[in-house]
Amino acid sequence: MSAAGGSGPGSVVEVSWLAEHLSDADLRIVDASWFLPTDHRDAQAEYRAAHIPGAVFFNIDAIADTKSGLPHMLPAPAVFAASVGALGIGDGDRVVVYDQPGLYSAARVWWSLRTMGLDRVSVLAGGLRQWRSEGRPLASGEETPPTRHFTPHFRPDLVRDRAQVLSALQRGNSQIIDARAPGRFAATEPEPRPGVRGGHIPGARNLHFASLVDQIRGRLRPAAELQAAFTDAGIRPEAPTTLLCGSGITACILGLALDQLGHARWSVYDGSWADWGAHHELPITH
């Protein structure tokens, strides 16, 4: 899923590149910061306090299917297109997505834009943390770019729902990777959402997203280390793969890692364990 066109960055871009291209007419920058409720942080307020110049704020919980009962599910393509168009993102644009910690929620927005048909979208390595550490300029307040037209081209191969995951499980033709912490995967730690069972989908492999991220630098680990992490977890990155996590945020980090390894046969279970674990008729194991 490298950027199309053969020029510019791929799915990950360095701070130095962004700094050099900050004034490009076709460049759009997105602050995709999102925090767990237990973090007691307001991502949008922090965006208003300081962001990369020109960046707009992508509210993961608002640009979503708010009627699904599940957190931050992808909305219908037309709704998504109107929302990102209102952020000034249009056809033909190149988008760089970042978050405050470095690499956490940015991958979710990268995946969302790719799923809706945007080819030229990248994650900023190190995010706002790296940008700040290099002494790069910051802006405050809200950015209000003119509305642009975004034509969605939905890519169903990048997303899975509950029925599709169950069907793949029954056929045994897709490996499943769970990005949650080992304690939640093994049901030795409680699930944070009421009514959601502990455990995991039978046959799933556990690869905690944090093991793929250099926590000091806020970016993916080198390719050799990513490959080793998948191998050690008993995962074949080149095989058809379904990714899930607690609610569809950190599974996208695994997708970004697979992309960096050159593998494209993966999809994200939108709804993830918040969906599967809440349906007591579905199989689980510990």
Question: What Cα–Cα distance (Å) separates residue 55 from each residue in 2, 60, 83, 121, 132?
Answer: 22, 15, 15, 14, 14
pLDDT at 109: 98
Question: Is the pLDDT at 209 greater than 70, yes or no?
Answer: yes
The radius of gyration computed from the CA coordinates of the chain, to the nearest angstrom, equals 18
> Tell me: the pLDDT tens digits for 243-277?
999 999 999 999 999 999 999 999 999 999 999 99
Domain 12-154, CATH number (from 3.40.250.10, 3.40.50.1820, 3.40.50.300, 1.10.357.10):
3.40.250.10
How much of the chain is in helix, strand and coil states, percent to nearest 5?
30, 15, 55
Q: Where are the domains of the chain?
A: 12-154, 157-276
Please check whether the two domains, 12-154 and 157-276, share a CATH topology.
yes
Question: Is the pLDDT at 6 greater than 90, yes or no?
Answer: no
Question: Is the pLDDT at 5 greater than 50, yes or no?
Answer: no
Average pLDDT over residues 96-116: 98
What is the dotted CATH code of the domain comprising 157-276? 3.40.250.10
Q: Are strands 175-178 and 56-57 parallel, antiparallel or unpaired?
A: unpaired
> Tell me: the pLDDT tens digits for 38-97?
899 999 999 999 999 999 999 999 999 999 999 999 999 999 999 999 999 999 999 999
The residues carrying an active-site annotation are 245
